[in-house]
Amino acid sequence: MSPTDPAAPRIMVTIAASADRHDPEIARRRNELYPATLVRHGAEPIVLDETSTPAERTSAFAAMNALLLSGGADLDPSRYGRPGQGATDVEPGRDALEAEAWAASQARGLPVLGICRGFQAINVFSGGTLLQHVDGHIGASWGHGVAKTHPLRVAPGTRLARILFPTNARGGVLQVNTYHHQGVRAADLAPGLIVNAWASSPAGDIVEGLEAADGRFLIGIQAHPERTESTPAAFERLFAVFVDAARGPLRRR
């Protein structure tokens, strides 16, 4: 399906403002992976960063059929009522954009997918907190070397397990990339969310996947599945199911 097809679901994607990054060209290429992945699965992306105008935001919130919160810098700890204890390179302007987009998506009951920072944002916006530094989970940044990886244990019976292991909902273990230095412990998890994936760390087991307990399409994954060179092919099903979920609000129109 072409992204210009009127039947294509429109998915809002929040990204970092690439011009503000240390390496704007790398940031631009990294940002482009998100909409390219959605187009590959038949969606039409609506891409915004913190420089977007109020009018652009209002238009995107009204038009979107789903929301993708992408990766990036740390959330400001004040968002979850904590002092800075390891958070670096925060982006308050992006936090504000994503909080607005989150509120709009929840008001309309839209599907939401969060990746890395987006996974953490879902937890924070839902009332949870973050561990502001996790040793050993970040390697070379994207575009500057081979990805660091670790095993991801997908919890049996979860929606994520059914997506990634469609013939065996008992879950399993996949090797995923790891580009984060913050995380979510069981005690940090927001009400209304359940854990669908775990990974080991020096801080103990940490949550690396979450989803809504009530069955809504609300999934967060700490890894970066849009970076296909370091991601198991099974994650293409996650994007396919997400885009299909976005067609639900479109059909209701």
Interval 108-146: pLDDT, tens: 999 999 999 999 999 999 999 999 888 765 665 644 567
Sheet holding 206-212, edge to edge: 44-48, 10-14, 66-69, 112-115, 218-221, 206-212, 193-199, 149-154, 172-177
242 has a pLDDT exceeding 70 = yes
**What pLDDT, on the 0 to 100 scale, is given for residue 119?**
97
Residue 41: active-site member: no
Among the options 100, 116, 180, 211, which is catalytic?
116
The Cα 201–Cα 194 span in angstroms is 19
Residue 25: active-site member: no
Interval 3-16: pLDDT, tens: 457 789 999 999 98
The Cα 174–Cα 232 span in angstroms is 7
At 210 the three-state DSSP class reads strand
Interval 41-56: pLDDT, tens: 999 999 999 999 999 9
- For the chain, the farthest-separated pair of C-alpha atoms sits apart, in whole angstroms, at 49
Residue 224: active-site member: yes
**What pLDDT, on the 0 to 100 scale, is given for residue 250?**
56
Interval 169-223: pLDDT, tens: 788 999 999 987 889 999 999 999 999 999 998 888 999 999 999 999 999 999 9
Interval 167-177: pLDDT, tens: 887 889 999 99
Domains for the chain: give ranges and CATH numbers: 10-252 (3.40.50.880)
Note whether 228 and 167 are within 8 A (CB). no
What mean pLDDT, rounded, does the chain reach? Answer: 89
The Cα 163–Cα 250 span in angstroms is 22
Q: Pick the more confident residue, 125 or 250.
A: 125
Sequence-distant (6+) residues with CB within 8 A of 208 are 119, 152, 176, 183, 184, 197, 198, 199, 221, 222, 223
**What pLDDT, on the 0 to 100 scale, is given for residue 4?**
57
What angle do helix axes 92-108 and 54-63 make, rounded to 10 degrees? 30
CB-count burial class (<10 Å; 0-12, 13-18, 19+) for 183: buried
Among the options 91, 100, 211, 226, which is catalytic?
226
247 has a pLDDT exceeding 70 = yes
Percentage of the chain lying above the pLDDT 70 cut = 89
Interval 30-86: pLDDT, tens: 899 999 999 999 999 999 999 999 999 999 999 999 999 999 889 999 999 987 675
pTM of the model: 0.92
1 has a pLDDT exceeding 60 = no
What single-letter DSSP state applies at residue 79? G
